[in-house]
A = this chain, B = another copy of it.
Amino acid sequence: MEQKAEKLDRPGVPALDEILGVPFKVLDDGLIRVVDYMGDDQAIVQAARVSYGDGTKKTSDDRGLIRYLLRHRHTTPFEMCVLKLHVRVPMDAWRQWIRHRMSSTNETSTRYSIAIDSAQTTAPDQWRIQATDNKQGSDGWVEKGLGEQLTRDEAAFQNHARELYNQRLENGVAREQARKDLPLCTYTEAYWKMDLHNLLHFLSLRMDPHAQKEIRDYATIIGQEIVKRWVPLTWEAFEDYRMGSVFYSRIEHEIMAAIGGGNMEQAIAIATEAGWLKPSKKGGFIRHRERDELAGKLKTLNLTVPWE
């Protein structure tokens, strides 16, 4: 690259500096604050240009290059930016959060310190009903009277839990053991650091409608309030290319090409060969997940579903 090598000023992002340390509230008693960061949109461009050199010249501007990188899943330049947060989050959401391994974490230890005296509570209108079509999700809210009862029971139970914990401590039981029956939703705090590439992956999974509401609330604030201020060009590209992006398999693509060419017979032949159209004894076809997934996509695209 034969870079100019001269004294630099440290890169900074005034829009992010403005909110440094300022807490965003999440759930009933959670928070997120930016503690520090490294890099900005320009740092991504800089890293890409050292890699691809002349290959990036065609892309006249930084915005175009960032969009190109994200669209084509070039990931390493995004690793050059790093975000460090202070979070306060219920342990059960934290259990999901910490599964993202490419991060650095320092969490409050309840061996060293007394557990935070706060567990997440649920308002009467926030109790969610088990979804029937989605094993992992929820769908709607329970009716008012039941919600009120559930909230009262929750409060009584959390009082019981805290009394138990306090009595153990008062009786001299070691903190590491006294904590064993704390409710999963007890709040914990941590510093958490992640590079932008891994953070975008985290956000694409945790802002997704399939993510659990609690962690989704955190992820949405990280995305909409923090990353958007920090690296606005990257965020725009992320919204355009990752969120709302759709992925078609080879088979799906071949069927779509047949439909696009008006050749429904060929479309059906491809689906048949793929084993998607096995007749059911009751008439129609045997249930087939991939076929149903494509049918859903075709409807979104206003294209005819050949086998319906």
Q: B301 touching A260 by the CB < 8 A rule?
A: yes
Residues of B within 8 A of A37 (CB): 38
Q: B53 touching A108 by the CB < 8 A rule?
A: yes
Considering the complex, which residues of chain A in the window 181-201 have a beta carbon less than 8 Å from any beta carbon of chain B?
181-186, 189-191, 193, 195
Residues of B within 8 A of A161 (CB): 157, 161, 181, 183
Report the bound CA distance from A64 to B278 in whole Å: 15
Report the bound CA distance from A99 to B104 in whole Å: 10
> What are 20 inter-chain pairs, A to B, with CB distance below 8 A?
A8-B20, A10-B12, A10-B20, A37-B38, A51-B106, A53-B108, A55-B136, A64-B289, A101-B101, A112-B135, A120-B180, A122-B180, A128-B173, A130-B174, A158-B181, A161-B181, A181-B183, A244-B253, A245-B253, A246-B253
Report the bound CA distance from A239 to B157 in whole Å: 46
Q: Please give the distance in Å from A44's CB to the nearest CB on chain B.
A: 10
Report the bound CA distance from A238 to B95 in whole Å: 30
- A256 at the binding interface (Cβ < 8 Å): yes
Q: Specify which of B6, B53, B164 is in contact with A113 (CB 8 Å cutoff).
A: B53
Q: B92 touching A84 by the CB < 8 A rule?
A: no
Report the bound CA distance from A293 to B241 in whole Å: 13
